[in-house]
Amino acid sequence: MRVRVLGSAAGGGFPQWNCGCPNCRGVRAGTIAATARTQESTAVSADGEAWFLLNASPEIRGQIESFPALHPRGPRDSPIAGILLTNGDLDHCLGLLSLRESHPLTVYATDRVRRGFTEDNALYRTLERFHGQVTWRALEPGREEELVGPHGEPSGLAVEAVALPGKPPVHLMGRSPPDGEDNVGFRIRERATDRVLAYVSSVAAVTPAVRDALAGAACVFFDGTFWSNDELIALGLGGQRAEDMAHLPVGGPGGSLAALADHRGSRRVYIHINNTNPILRDDSPERAAVEAAGWTVAHDGLEIEL
Ligand SMILES: [Zn+2]
């Protein structure tokens, strides 16, 4: 299985348009050791021909252009066989609306995420311009689903969605009670090798379900949004703690680095990194701690072969 990180930052990207935090200012000015990053999206393929995108970021156009394997092979064509959504956050879904140039799309999502994006959304009509423009394939937590090409052809990959601790997207908060299918992770299995990529880019806690999602995976991608719970507050960027936003911080005694210290033997990558997170700095002690524990901090363009 080939895995290519198209975007590694959390919502807003790095730097974020309206953010003057030390990281964002430093990366703009070139005064810190850090690299700009676009918002989270990852491409996977078993054969290098048919590709599946995990999440569709607002920066999808540039992300497709950044990776030649996603370029058209004919006058009207795309190697993108399908798009999988982990949740309904706009930084994971808005890219769908940018793929509106009359091209059939297949989207894999839980029923909950599909409804959140399609119902009461006049903009969605741009993806309903002809019959069959979007084919939704329902992901049910716990059931493995074949990933297929536009004509139903096998891709060599299958996905199991895993319900994870999370919350509904901000713009849908309060419209209906939280639901177990608001936020999922993926176990993407390559049929020929049985190798599994565990993709958990947004998660509020390490629960037994999360451990099950990671078990036996050859490669783990994990929520790297914040280093500490009060990161935004300490920088004067608002009153929300990481836990209020359903993100488990990386650092600290209760953080994912400590909680997953026993999880070794697989390639481990932090993704969905907020622009305030000190692990974005190549020379920070937090980056050193993460790397000493065997983790990689994802950057745009990172490629992994499983
Ligand atoms: Zn910032």
Q: 70: CA distance to ligand 1 center in Å?
A: 30
User: What token pair was written down for 12?
Assistant: 């807003």
Q: Taking residues 101-108, report their average pLDDT.
A: 94
Q: 25: CA distance to ligand 1 center in Å?
A: 7
According to DSSP, the β-strands at 295-297 and 267-271 are parallel
Q: 141: CA distance to ligand 1 center in Å?
A: 34
- Environment of ion ligand 1 (residues, CB < 5 A): 19, 21, 24, 275
Q: 20: CA distance to ligand 1 center in Å?
A: 6
Angle at which helix 90-98 crosses helix 111-118, to 10 degrees, equals: 60
In this prediction the pTM is: 0.96
Cα–Cα nearest to 13, from 25, 29, 24: 24
Query: How far is it, in rounded angstroms, from Cα 41 to Cα 51?
Result: 12
Note the pLDDT tens digit of each residue in 195-215: 999 999 999 999 999 999 999
Chain position carrying tokens 């609306």:
97
| Spatial contact of 242 and 225, defined as CB atoms under 8 Å apart | yes
Q: 15: CA distance to ligand 1 center in Å?
A: 6
Average pLDDT, the chain: 96
Structure confidence at residue 86 (pLDDT): 98
Structure confidence at residue 236 (pLDDT): 93
User: Cα–Cα–Cα angle for 291, 274, 282, nearest 5°?
Assistant: 35
How many residues appear in the chain? 306
Return the percentage of the chain with pLDDT > 70, whole number.
100
Q: 275: CA distance to ligand 1 center in Å?
A: 5
Note the pLDDT tens digit of each residue in 252-301: 999 999 999 988 879 999 999 999 999 999 999 999 999 999 999 999 99
Query: How far is it, in rounded angstroms, from Cα 136 to Cα 101?
Result: 18
Chain position carrying tokens 């793929």:
99
pLDDT band at 239 (very low <50, low <70, confident <90, very high): confident
Q: 293: CA distance to ligand 1 center in Å?
A: 26
CA atoms within 13 A on the CB side of 55: 33
Structure confidence at residue 263 (pLDDT): 86
Q: 164: CA distance to ligand 1 center in Å?
A: 27
Query: How far is it, in rounded angstroms, from Cα 162 to Cα 183?
Result: 9
